[in-house]
Amino acid sequence: MMEICDRNPNNERSLSRRMFLKVGGWLVMAAGMLRIPGISLAQGKPEVISGNVRFPGKAGTVGGYLSRPAGTGPFPAVIVIHENRGVTEYIQDVTKNLAHEGYVGLSVNLVSRSLGPDYPGGSDEAMKALGQLSDADAMADLDAGMAYLQKQPVVFTNSIGCMGFCMGGRFSLLFAEHNKDLKAAVVFYGRTINKINPLQPKSPLDLAPEMAAPLLGNYGAADAGIPVDSVKQLEEALRKNNKTFDIKVYPEAKHAFHRQGPNYHAEAAKDAWKRSIDWLAKYLKKG
């Protein structure tokens, strides 16, 4: 036990409480840093402040999970676009780790319209609601997230990018074509060609000529849901239209290779995260 020289009972209680809070904060931060496989965080990364937020949207209040460096900023920002199960612990960890890299991360809760702005991810209800979400409504809620970030004093308003996973990877492609304020986009295994669905009238491939943001893509050759040929078609369309992009296909990686689970691929996850951080730094931390 640490000896406290000042024997004033009030001071002793105060010091003990401060020490408890500080140690507790370190432990919480360390736990958050270790959750995502494939992400190695060096010592000296900034502490972060994280929590739920709300902001106005086209159809009502939109919820989100925000994490930012503890300093005053301003910092560049990244909109994190979640998978088809909502804002899960994994997505929160991605958002926090972006904050450790010096970004204000905001995961927009895309079930806000149907289940409420504070509805947690990970449930079958969230998955069902997201299956009924149209592209137009998703883009409107992501636009609301962009507008919210642009109003924050802690954010560089002209240095905002996005990063999406699975369903969110497809939305990241669409958002890079939709919102001209976006300065960089990262896609983890986002579908490039739609199945027949009236809620998804256009494929990302069809909209490639409208791509505004520099695009980084991370895909798996063993992804049963996203054929490699469709990724190659996207590359060809981007090249034909003189877009800035870098797409890598990992030979043995399956869908969702970055998230802990049966398809997790350590080598691909680590490399894709490093590529993503380098890409964001190149386009969001210029100057």
Task: Tell me the per-residue pLDDT of 16-34, one tens digit each, with 9 for 90 and over.
Answer: 333 333 333 333 333 333 3
Rg (CA), the chain: 20
User: So what's the pLDDT on residue 217?
Assistant: 98
Burial of 215 (0-12, 13-18, 19+ CB in 10 A): buried
> What is the rounded distance in angstroms from the CA atom of residue 159 to the CA atom of residue 151?
13
Q: Is 111 helix (H, G, I), strand (E, B) or coil?
A: coil
* Shared-domain flag, residues 60 and 182: yes
User: So what's the pLDDT on residue 46?
Assistant: 66
User: So what's the pLDDT on residue 229?
Assistant: 97
User: So what's the pLDDT on residue 45?
Assistant: 67
Is 254 inside any structural domain?
A: yes
Q: CATH no. for residue 156?
A: 3.40.50.1820
Is 39 inside any structural domain?
A: no
- The 8-class DSSP code of residue 166 comes to T
In the chain, the amino acid numbered 113 is R
Assigned token pair, 79: 């909109």
| pLDDT cut 70: percent of the chain above it | 84
User: So what's the pLDDT on residue 196?
Assistant: 81
Percent helix, strand and coil across the chain, each to the nearest 5 = 40, 20, 40
* Angle formed by the axes of helices 9-34 and 89-100, nearest 10°: 110
> In whole numbers, what is the pLDDT of the chain averaged over residues?
87
* Shared-domain flag, residues 8 and 146: no
Specify the pTM: 0.85
Which residues are identified as catalytic? 166, 223, 255
Counting as low any pLDDT under 70, the low residues of the chain are: 1-46, 287
* Shared-domain flag, residues 23 and 99: no
The residue range of the domain holding 10 is 1-34
